[in-house]
Structure 1
Amino acid sequence: MLSLLLHLGIACLVIYQSLPSNKLIVPTLLMFIGGTIKYTARIRTLYLASFRMFRSSLLPSPNPGRNYAKIMEDRIALQEAHIQPLTASSPEARHHSHLAGAEGEKSLDDRTVIKVAYHYFKIFQGLLVDVIFSFDIRDNSMRFFSSRTAKDAFRVIEAELNFLYDLFYTKAAIVHCPSGYFYRAISVGCIVASFASFHVLNKHGFHDFDVQITYALLLGAVGLEFAILGIIFCSDWTIAKIGASEKHCRSLFQGSIFIEFLLKFKSESSPFALHILSARWSKSVSQYNLIDYRLKRWPKCLIPLKELFDDLKFGRVVPYDDKLGELIFNELKRKASIPLNLQSITEVCAARGKWALEHTKTGEVCEILLPAVRDVDYSESLLLWHIATELCYNIDTDTDTDTDTDNDGNISYHKEISKVFSDYMLYLMIKQPQMMSVVAGIGQIRFQDTCAEMDRFFDEKFFDKNKTNKNACQCLLSVPTEVKPANVKGDKSKSVLFDACILAKELEKFGKTKWVILSEVWVELLGYAAIHCRPYNHAQQLSKGGELVTLVWLLMVHLGLSEQFHIEGGTTHASVD
């Protein structure tokens, strides 16, 4: 606000000093009005986008609840009069969204995706400031998402996160409202009028170079305004607002035609689609592989430069595909299919591999592998399973051409997807520590101790020409591991290198089935990180292209796998016929 007042004061002073002989006073004042409106909108956007204001805007009206004292007094009076108090259901009756389960497994078109996403955005935006939701809201959301395909569920999630991004990082919140449209029209009108008034002005006495520069600046301002108008018209907000207004007006035909026209520029399947309008997140999954990282470590003399170039050298990404989302969705939906109450929700949210192992086909899997998730903290578990996955991946050649399938899908795909999840989760722990700060514990210490032990082992065993991932994994698995490392080394070092080798050898006993086990465990580890990451950190990632873990977080909430559902209305009040 101080900056706005300072700039306004300086501009007013300059205009005042140019009077009374200023031939450009009309275009100057028009541009001044348009600029003031835009600057004010920017200040207001920054003010409203702060978490403090956002939280305040979502606070409900004070609710003291029913008059408990009066209800109990009436109840006692009825009992003394020997009249049986009647019970009635809460006036806060359960309501079911018209969106929930409305179309079964029917695929959603782009218009419906935006409409549904906007509906849930208006309800669940309070997630970012820890608003607690009712079980009615949970049930409605669960019904809708459980009846969708994985692809459609993620399309809705992507659009919903896009609304959240616009809320915090663009002017959408103040542009897409009646006053926003009014002031935008005035701003555009002033800038266009400023250009027109300068164009018709008698320019006698002005230098040609100055005139050309002024034309260039004015044309740039007009072009920028119309480009912004195009983005506003083609935004999800415009489509959602028109869709919402169709309920209250008779111009359904015209509104529908306009929406269909806009979707031609947004739908990924449309030949007219513009990537800048249709893309809602990066659709990439970053990777960070520990063994590869240590085999290609920098020489000691260049270690001071290591941190500077680490992100560039190891910034490997793989594209997100629908099969990846399908596996995540099916696993989360399997969890959501169990009867959910406060206790079961807490247990499911606390599971970090235990639930997946306990719900495998055989009890043997659970008995052998359960200690690797139950008896260790999250960061240790993540490192254990990451190294074990890499070891199994590099020594396994049987599934490369495998065509056999089981009920969970193609084994070779489970192998590839397990590695993607493994490298992604380590990337989150090492490169995005703010997202894992709640669950990582002493993860950084474990990581550096494991790196140190790995470096020592590789330096003793390999020359540079032999340093391949496959050779490294074979050499690690050749080490005898009959005795637990902690019994030999003590617990001063937090390295988990050879504990992971033990886990990999146990996994190898299950043959091809190990890849199904690994993929399910990794989905659960991903879900645990997603639901325990602070909502504020999820919101921050939206400005950087988004992360898969953020999509998983919101999907888990929509499937009821969150502890932010606690509200139940009272069910009893006294009444007399």
Structure 2
Amino acid sequence: MQEIRAEIFSKSVRNLWNNWDIRVFLLCSLLVQILLIFFASLRKRMAYKLLILFTWSLYLLADWVAAFALGLLANSQGDESDCPGGNAKPDVKIMASSAGSKHNIVKSTDNNILAFWAPFLLLHLGGPDTITAFAMEDNELWLRHLLGVTFEVGAAGYVFLLSLPKNRLLVPTLLMFVAGIIKYAERTYSLYLASMDGFRESMLEKPDPGPNYAKLMEEYQSKKESGVPAQIEISPEPEAHEVELQREELDEVSMVRKAHHFFNTFKGLIVELMFNFRDRAESRNAFLQWSPFGAFRVVEYELEFIYEVLFTKAALVHNSFGYVLRAICSGSIMAAFLFFFFTNKHGFLSVDIIISYTLLGGAIALDFVAFIMVMLSDWSVIKVTIPFLGNIISEIITKVPPRDRWSVSITQYNLINFCIPDHEKYLGRIADRPTFAGKFCEAFYIQKFLDKLKCKMMSGLLEELQYTYHVPVSKELKNFIFDELKKKTEIMKEPKAARSLCSCRGSWALEQKGYFSQFGNNVEVEFDESLLRWHIATTLCYYTVNDISKNSLIDKDSKVEESNESVPTLAAVHRQLSMFISDYMMYLLIMQPSMMSSSAVIGKIRFRDTCAEAKNFFLRRPFKRWNPNLATALCGSSQNVEKEREKERWRACADLLSVNTEAKPIDVKGDRSKSVLFDACILAKKLKDEVPIGQRWTLIGEVWVEMLSYAAGRCSGIAHAQRLSKGGELLTFVWFLMAHLGLGEQYRIEAGHARAKLIVGK
């Protein structure tokens, strides 16, 4: 085995590695920290899979590299402990190969410098302020992390002890130990605070036993036995009255402060706490006065606070104790730099001195960047309360880019588009993919390779990359959603009525429009089946009418007949918004089943069966395909490519609607297959035949908003919180807006304590 190893790795290579491994890993650890502090904060604003994957890799690599380097340091100290005082002879150079080799490999033989490097690794293990946990599950491992602190600090202490008693870098080493231990402890405590137990405990109030019932009844019984006339008079606690609502426009600073105020109460949504009638009244009265932009913006800031509490060190850093710790840590690093600068470094290798200055400079730079981020964070707007000057500082902070606290986009996934057969030509298949990542996977047959390996998890990820894309959340979409929720809360003022309304998933909208008798059966089925039916029906209706704001997409040579219907201008907006929500809900059902937990399994089965039937149908009815060139295939955003895609969707939808559906699909096929393809076709035909074009898209849009709010209320708080670190989801915004407007299921305390008095007669 030794001979084989020698053949693979020569002695010079092994000597090179043995003498440079510690230095390389130290610098790699610093590099990972630099990348992590900048890229970690991007993941909350960008919903890109590759960015999330890169951040996840850095997060795992940071701990591994630092811990491994610390082990190398401990092992290196042990090899040289035979020297007096634990210090080996300095300035020793070891030849990497034979006497004729041209490579001289320097090897630090002074334990002082190794001991000085050890606390830097503790500093790196503490991580940057911008990320403590990559996912919610990491917070639950805080106890394991606490155990890791013990071992890592012990290993660093072991390296330090072996450098005694003649350690010339004793003071700067101790100062760096203080900074490293503080940073490592900060991360561990932040993980605990963000764990579900710690998060819940931080919000629970003192136990409320209520009025002293036993004492009151004892006094009442005593008066009664003594013959004194007495009675108990009950006066209920005054209810929270609604205030006169007036439109209120908020500036950015006011939005941040309002968001922080509601954050202190409604962060309990994550751990499914109950709220009382006073919380509901205060929040509802405030949000009803704001514009859709103001309401969404306040929720955006609110979710930003929740993200920072769950995934960063914000809960610890942004308080008096945190400021003291940060001052001690920063002061220790600066003092260590000064002590090292003025220490006699005679005998240390030049390369080790350079690395030491690099580590010190990196620590100071990272600490300075963290300080700037703290100063420019939304928390500073809350902390700065100095009159006049505080408002000026707060306005400056809120204007520092980037202004968006989430991706402001929704992911689109369309079943019909997915089921249209792949282009028979190589360039056509590449052009069909809407994103660059999808084109890359198709160009190199990565999806087919993984399918042959039966790697389901990676295959599913690549499918998402190939068939999904993002569209911005427009002002019109925000207005439409908020207006629909606002309309419901104005009608259903009582909590019980609001809770019953939250269980509707399209029926209320149909009843309000007078179409429940015609379409009610399509919303009373299981939610995933209803979602699939309305998704396909929405797609079929979308691609078989003309939008007067666009030119016709159907070419004259096509066999597909152009519809005579034209969408009025107002309904055209609802038409586009309905399609956005429809494709977004399909993405959640298929690609994010954890957010649709009640329908995850059976929904996947129905989707697969429906896709299988659709693909079989399209294979039997081939239609003319376009032939792109190389430039067109690679340029996925070109208008020509999109126009050709639209033509294919028109043809596919027209073919589906041309099928005779007089007989019910279940009567013909039975119920073994869970496909809902032609049930959706029947729904689409009824919508086109029985609902005028001007009302059709308003009706479909309101049904989709109701489904969106239903799914938001049924998704667990933890699932909502998970997505905050991956660009955020519109579904989470809808959930918080519902809660703020009093439409949530969590308002269980509908009255306060009754005020009982013992009235004694004369």
TM-score (normalizing by structure 2): 0.69
Measured after TM superposition, the shift of residue 574 of structure 1 is: 2.0
**2:216/2:758 contact within 8 Å kept:** no
Whole-Å separation in 2 of the counterparts to 1:499 and 1:194:
73
Partner of 2:379: 237
Whole-Å separation in 2 of the counterparts to 1:524 and 1:104:
26
Measured after TM superposition, the shift of residue 262 of structure 1 is: 2.2
Q: For residue 713 of structure 2, what is the amino acid of its counterpart?
A: I
Q: For residue 445 of structure 1, what is the amino acid of its counterpart?
A: I
Any idea what SS the aligned residue of 1:370 has? helix
Whole-Å separation in 1 of the counterparts to 2:215 and 2:152:
59
Measured after TM superposition, the shift of residue 238 of structure 1 is: 1.7
Measured after TM superposition, the shift of residue 256 of structure 1 is: 2.5
- Of 518, 532, 535, which aligns to 1:383? 532
Q: Aligned ranges for residues 92-131 of structure 1 at < 5 Å?
A: 104-131=246-273
TM-aligned CA distance change 1:430 to 1:39, over 3 Å: same
**2:571/2:694 contact within 8 Å kept:** yes
Q: For residue 661 of structure 2, what is the amino acid of its counterpart?
A: T
> Are 2:579 and 1:419 aligned?
yes
Any idea what SS the aligned residue of 1:285 has? strand
Q: For residue 349 of structure 1, what is the amino acid of its counterpart?
A: C
Any idea what SS the aligned residue of 1:359 has? helix
Any idea what SS the aligned residue of 1:286 has? strand
- Of 547, 561, 568, which aligns to 2:743? 561
Q: For residue 86 of structure 1, what is the amino acid of its counterpart?
A: E
Whole-Å separation in 1 of the counterparts to 2:746 and 2:170:
58
Measured after TM superposition, the shift of residue 45 of structure 1 is: 0.8
- Of 704, 708, 718, which aligns to 1:526? 708
Measured after TM superposition, the shift of residue 563 of structure 1 is: 1.4
Partner of 1:261: 396
Measured after TM superposition, the shift of residue 309 of structure 1 is: 2.2
**1:391/1:504 contact within 8 Å kept:** yes
Partner of 1:359: 512
Whole-Å separation in 1 of the counterparts to 2:230 and 2:358:
86
Q: For residue 484 of structure 1, what is the amino acid of its counterpart?
A: K
Partner of 2:318: 176
TM-aligned CA distance change 1:416 to 1:61, over 3 Å: same
Task: List gaps (5 residues or longer) in structure 1.
Answer: 266-272
**Which 10-residue stretch deviates more, 317-326 or 254-263?**
254-263
Aligned length: 547
**2:547/2:567 contact within 8 Å kept:** no
- Of 441, 459, 479, which aligns to 2:659? 479
Any idea what SS the aligned residue of 1:570 has? coil
Whole-Å separation in 2 of the counterparts to 1:347 and 1:553:
16
> Are 2:469 and 1:316 aligned?
yes
Partner of 2:284: 142
Q: For residue 111 of structure 1, what is the amino acid of its counterpart?
A: V
CA deviations 1:332-357 (Å, max 9, x no partner) are: 00010123334312321110000111
Any idea what SS the aligned residue of 2:759 has? coil
Whole-Å separation in 2 of the counterparts to 1:153 and 1:378:
28
TM-aligned CA distance change 1:6 to 1:390, over 3 Å: same
Partner of 2:682: 502
Measured after TM superposition, the shift of residue 74 of structure 1 is: 4.4
TM-aligned CA distance change 1:51 to 1:102, over 3 Å: farther
Whole-Å separation in 2 of the counterparts to 1:564 and 1:507:
35
Whole-Å separation in 2 of the counterparts to 1:330 and 1:526:
14
**1:378/1:440 contact within 8 Å kept:** no
Whole-Å separation in 2 of the counterparts to 1:357 and 1:102:
31
Partner of 2:62: none
Whole-Å separation in 1 of the counterparts to 2:535 and 2:742:
28
Partner of 1:268: none
> Are 2:753 and 1:570 aligned?
yes
- Of 313, 332, 336, which aligns to 1:194? 336
CA deviations 1:370-394 (Å, max 9, x no partner) are: 22112x1100000000000110111
TM-aligned CA distance change 1:342 to 1:109, over 3 Å: closer
Any idea what SS the aligned residue of 1:129 has? coil
Q: Aligned ranges for residues 434-473 of structure 1 at < 5 Å?
A: 434-440=594-600, 442-463=602-623, 465=625, 468-473=648-653
Whole-Å separation in 2 of the counterparts to 1:536 and 1:125:
11
> Are 2:699 and 1:517 aligned?
yes
Whole-Å separation in 2 of the counterparts to 1:440 and 1:24:
60
**Which 10-residue stretch deviates more, 206-215 or 182-191?**
206-215
**Structure of greater Rg:** 2
Whole-Å separation in 1 of the counterparts to 2:755 and 2:221:
14
Measured after TM superposition, the shift of residue 575 of structure 1 is: 3.3
Measured after TM superposition, the shift of residue 57 of structure 1 is: 2.3
Whole-Å separation in 2 of the counterparts to 1:95 and 1:241:
30
Partner of 2:410: 285
Measured after TM superposition, the shift of residue 459 of structure 1 is: 1.0
**1:75/1:574 contact within 8 Å kept:** no
Whole-Å separation in 1 of the counterparts to 2:527 and 2:490:
25
> Are 2:172 and 1:27 aligned?
yes
**1:399/1:411 contact within 8 Å kept:** no
Report the aligned-residue RMSD. 2.3
Measured after TM superposition, the shift of residue 440 of structure 1 is: 4.6
Whole-Å separation in 2 of the counterparts to 1:500 and 1:263:
47
Whole-Å separation in 2 of the counterparts to 1:354 and 1:258:
49
**Which 10-residue stretch deviates more, 480-489 or 74-83?**
74-83
**2:495/2:742 contact within 8 Å kept:** no
Whole-Å separation in 1 of the counterparts to 2:421 and 2:668:
29
Any idea what SS the aligned residue of 1:317 has? strand
Whole-Å separation in 1 of the counterparts to 2:254 and 2:356:
46
- Of 590, 605, 619, which aligns to 1:430? 590
Partner of 2:234: 87
> Are 2:537 and 1:537 aligned?
no
**1:379/1:441 contact within 8 Å kept:** no
> Relative contact order (alpha carbons < 8 A, sep ≥ 6): 1 or 2 greater?
1
CA deviations 1:2-30 (Å, max 9, x no partner) are: 21111211212212211233222221111
Partner of 2:51: none
TM-aligned CA distance change 1:301 to 1:230, over 3 Å: closer
Measured after TM superposition, the shift of residue 212 of structure 1 is: 1.8
* Percent of aligned positions that are identical: 44
CA deviations 1:433-456 (Å, max 9, x no partner) are: 000012456111111110111111
Any idea what SS the aligned residue of 2:522 has? helix
CA deviations 1:133-182 (Å, max 9, x no partner) are: 11111011100001110000000001111111111100011111111100
**Which 10-residue stretch deviates more, 429-438 or 457-466?**
457-466
**1:101/1:144 contact within 8 Å kept:** no
**2:231/2:758 contact within 8 Å kept:** no
Measured after TM superposition, the shift of residue 236 of structure 1 is: 1.0
TM-aligned CA distance change 1:397 to 1:389, over 3 Å: same
Partner of 2:427: none
Any idea what SS the aligned residue of 2:748 has? strand
Partner of 1:270: none
Q: For residue 313 of structure 2, what is the amino acid of its counterpart?
A: K
TM-aligned CA distance change 1:504 to 1:95, over 3 Å: closer
Measured after TM superposition, the shift of residue 237 of structure 1 is: 1.3
- Of 145, 160, 165, which aligns to 2:302? 160
Whole-Å separation in 2 of the counterparts to 1:350 and 1:71:
41
TM-aligned CA distance change 1:171 to 1:95, over 3 Å: farther
Whole-Å separation in 2 of the counterparts to 1:24 and 1:345:
68
TM-score (normalizing by structure 1): 0.90
Partner of 2:635: none
TM-aligned CA distance change 1:161 to 1:298, over 3 Å: farther
**Which 10-residue stretch deviates more, 383-392 or 122-131?**
122-131
